[in-house]
């Protein structure tokens, strides 16, 4: 069994809880308060500025040229692709550059990104790739699931968010990181798998904390 499937199985209960989270359900049915989404957008933008650094570190830690190119492309995809969703919403919500600069990252945000950066700096390429996976993969699955709900993807405000994470481009990016992990871990030891499993569970729990933080606006 591929490492990615075994990791997914280890967090399925956690990930299933995302679909029932009031923040996600609010996006799905359009009932989420705009001020909560605005808070989330700013925090997630701050998060992505650190998240993308881990992909950049992947270039440094890679030995294969094709992997270097893959990580480099992902840096561009996030900075000029995924974050464009945020920039569009920020324009609609009246969020300016100064608002981002003057906003403190929440403690959950800081803890999550510091954990990923620590794992990636101290560990090897398998650790780094695993630390990235929960965010990328779970967002794609959330986007895909919400896109199948009648009317959700057509919502005048939240539809763009759903369609962005359910898009073919985002699916390809997610598949790249999954395939890379499976390639890197073809001959993985049980001891190493346990370490990757711990990283994957921790980052999945951080994702749940992030949704909680967004819904409560950091309170």
Torsion of the alpha carbons at 201, 207, 208 and 213, rounded to the nearest 10: 140
Angle between helices 65-77 and 34-61 (to 10 degrees): 160
The gap from C-alpha 46 to its chain's centroid, in whole angstroms, comes to 12
CA atoms of 147 and 151, how far apart (whole Å):
8
Give the CA distances from residue 18 to residues 3, 21, 170, 181, in Å, rounded to whole numbers and listed in that order: 22, 5, 19, 23
Report the Cα 85 to chain-centroid distance in Å: 14
- Provide the Cα torsion 123, 127, 128, 134; round to 10°: -150
Q: Which of 82, 108, 173, 207 is catalytic?
A: 207
Catalytic residue at 108?
A: no
- Encoded tokens for 18: 């995302």
Alpha-carbon distance of 1 to 202, in angstroms, equals 22
Active site residue 82: no
Report the C-alpha gap between 74 and 97 in whole angstroms: 23
Which of the residues 82, 135, 173, 175 is marked catalytic? 135
Nearest one of 171, 57, 78 to 124, comparing CA atoms: 57
Catalytic machinery residues: 135, 207
């Amino acid at each position: 069994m591929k490492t990615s499937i075994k990791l997914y199985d280890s967090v399925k209960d956690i990930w299933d809880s995302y679909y029932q989270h009031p923040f996600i359900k609010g996006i799905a049915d359009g009932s989420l308060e705009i001020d909560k989404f605005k808070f989330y957008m700013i925090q997630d933008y701050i998060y992505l500025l650190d998240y993308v650094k881990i992909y950049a570190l992947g270039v440094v830690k890679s030995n294969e040229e094709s992997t270097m190119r893959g990580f480099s492309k992902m840096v561009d995809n996030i900075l000029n692709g995924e974050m464009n969703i945020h920039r569009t919403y920020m324009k609609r919500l009246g969020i300016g550059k100064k608002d981002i600069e003057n906003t403190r990252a929440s403690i959950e945000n800081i803890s999550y990104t510091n954990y990923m950066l620590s794992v990636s700096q101290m560990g090897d390429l398998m650790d780094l790739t695993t630390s990235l996976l929960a965010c990328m993969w779970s967002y794609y699955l959330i986007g895909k699931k919400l896109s199948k709900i009648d009317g959700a993807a057509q919502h005048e405000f939240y539809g763009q968010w759903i369609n962005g994470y359910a898009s073919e481009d985002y699916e390809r990016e997610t598949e790249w990181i999954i395939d890379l992990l499976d390639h890197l871990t073809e001959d993985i030891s049980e001891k190493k798998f346990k370490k990757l499993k711990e990283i994957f569970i921790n980052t999945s729990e951080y994702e749940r904390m992030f949704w909680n933080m967004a819904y409560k606006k950091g309170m």
